[in-house]
A and B are shown apart, each in its own frame.
Chain A
């Protein structure tokens, strides 16, 4: 598998979330994804970027365009140095929220992706990585 393009974007303000959505949209179009797949990865990116800002206190997104034999895909890595998630299983449960949300962002973005990894340590931060293949 090779990464043929990558970019880092800051997630510090509400406007950055809009920029993230727009960039992921552009990259998914460039990767030749169908409209449904574009919409899925943009929506997942919107969820994770918002979590990074709201709970992680801000962070960044690493955007990568991948190719592996015949397939191409996008990998998004969201990183923050916020408080971390004490109970991952709970956080990934549909409907569980520590704020006033719907509690569907993490689990939903997992369903919208082909691959999903999350790593979090209390007091250190959180990294969520998703991949969607064309």
Chain B
């Protein structure tokens, strides 16, 4: 075992007083409100604290306190990263997660003060060392927390995109694509791929793109719609755009966008009726059908 230079008592304090440190630390976490008893059981809090102290003890054996990126610190890093991710998912605030580390300062400082009784120089130097060490570990939890939140958000966005672009078959040879929300560039790409795939899979000749659920049709949305229509045409399918409400029709005329060579309908129902007609079919009352 290497002993850190300069009469440091950090390693010794962590080795000998593990239990006292743990109890005081947990009390500190509870008092700060960051322990969140509503989200984490007391026994888990105890286990996590004990595990952290065990790994920290091993890490400081290396004699390296300031560079937490070396392999000797990997156990501590992995534990804090995992803990931050779990707590992000549980609904902890980032400051509460960082407090897990920062609240350890109080008990550790107190223990070092006792250990250095009568030797202020050694005490100050140790305080400086552990402050830097714990600050770095605290920042690591914040980074891990933010990273896992970003991952959660990105996954939700992907799921939303998938969810919101189903292609439905209305009849043989007729598919419909109801679009809900904003048609930005990323979504247009997915919408287009889904539609083209559905046209191929169902052998459809007519595709109805329904924009009842699109609140604003500006030049970008129009451009994306026209692009989708053009792609469907290349696959041999004709497109009908439905859900153009009167106020939208008036607005795009003023905007100057021309949907001239695309058939448009006010409602999905009227688009469907037209699609059936184009395929030589109609919907009729039973009583009207002569046998």
Contact = CB atoms under 8 A, between A and B. Distances in A.
B217 A43 contact: yes
A109 B250 CA distance: 13
**Interface size class of chain B, counting residues whose CB lies under 8 Å from the partner chain:** 10 to 19
Interface residues of A, number: 24
Interface string A28-61: 0000000110111011001100100000000000
Interface in B128-187: 182, 184
Interface of B: 182, 184, 215-220, 222-223, 246-248, 250-251, 254-257
Interface of A: 14, 18, 21, 25, 35-36, 38-40, 42-43, 46-47, 50, 94, 101-102, 104-105, 107-109, 111-112
Nearest to A34: B247
A101 B223 contact: yes
Given A18-B182, A50-B220, A101-B223, A112 B254 contact: yes
Contacts, number: 61
Contacts of A43: 216-218, 251, 255
Given A14-B184, A46-B218, A94 B256 contact: yes
Contact of B219 (A14, A38, A39, A47): A47
A104 B223 CA distance: 11
B5 to A, nearest CB: 50
A46 B223 CA distance: 14
A104 B248 contact: no
B78 to A, nearest CB: 33
Contacts of B251: 36, 39-40, 43, 112
> What 5 pairs between A and B have smallest CB-CB spacing?
A108-B255, A39-B247, A46-B218, A36-B247, A102-B219
**Do most interface residues of chain B lie in helix, strand or loop, or is the interface mixed?**
helix
A36 B255 CA distance: 13
A101 B219 contact: yes
A36 B251 CA distance: 7
Contact of B255 (A38, A101, A104): A104
Contacts of B247: 35-36, 38-39
A98 B216 CA distance: 24
A108 B254 contact: yes
Contacts of B182: 18
A50 B221 CA distance: 12
Contacts of B216: 21, 39, 42-43, 46
A101 B184 contact: no
A105 B250 contact: no
A87 B126 CA distance: 66
A99 to B, nearest CB: 11
Given A107-B256, A108-B255, A108-B256, A102 B222 contact: yes
B250 A36 contact: yes
A39 B223 contact: no
A131 B217 CA distance: 20
A46 B250 CA distance: 16
Nearest to A22: B215
A38 B246 CA distance: 13
Given A50-B218, A108-B257, 20 more contacts: A14-B184, A36-B247, A36-B250, A39-B216, A39-B250, A40-B250, A40-B254, A42-B216, A43-B251, A43-B255, A46-B216, A50-B220, A94-B256, A101-B223, A102-B219, A102-B257, A104-B255, A108-B219, A111-B254, A112-B251
